[in-house]
Amino acid sequence: MKTLIVYYSHGGNTGAAARRIAEQTGAPCAALTPAAPYPGEYKPLAAQAWQEIQNGFLPPLADIPDLTGVTRLLLGTPNWCGTMAPPVAAFLAGVSTDGLRILPFCTHGGGGPGKIAADLQKLCPGADIGPLLSIKGTELAVEDLRAWLAAL
């Protein structure tokens, strides 16, 4: 059983969750990096994110983590406009997830996970998708993390 953590984080919250998960599991982490960086300021970032999500645009990535031999994927994304951030959708479009066990996690700003779980299911119809761990900002309780990892 080989486990890999793959995540995208723009502001650091999802990255912080990924590091917590890595500490608990000992699994390696791979951060997704868009080839063209997103704007740092919120307004242009939000406008670009909204456009990309509306158009189903998949931003090219600097590189795609190698899933060779990986059987379990812990997949992290921020909630952007109610769904996963486009770099995560771009990653999923670039790999085969058939037969993979996927445990998703997301961070959000108070709106909850939106339709991340439903959209993930659509993008990975051949994967065995477990429960979604939804984290407000960086508020991740140890018990919630343990309970989620028990589904691994």
Ligand X SMILES: Cc1cc2nc3c(=O)[nH]c(=O)nc-3n(C[C@H](O)[C@H](O)[C@H](O)COP(=O)(O)O)c2cc1C
The residues that touch ligand X, with contacts defined as CB under 6 A, are: 9-15, 45-46, 49, 78-82, 107-111, 114, 137
Nearer to ligand X, 83 or 97 (CB): 83
Choose among 149, 87, 98, 145: nearest CA to 124. 98
- What is the per-residue burial (b if ≥16 Cβ within 10 Å, else e) of 64-75? ebebeebebbbb
Choose among 6, 131, 11: nearest CA to 80. 11
- Closest CB 105 distance from ligand X, rounded Å: 11
- Closest CB 82 distance from ligand X, rounded Å: 5
DSSP summary character for residue 91: H
Phi first, then psi: give them for residue 41, nearest 5 degrees: -80, 145
Nearer to ligand X, 101 or 148 (CB): 148
- Closest CB 50 distance from ligand X, rounded Å: 7
Nearer to ligand X, 40 or 126 (CB): 40
Nearer to ligand X, 3 or 13 (CB): 13
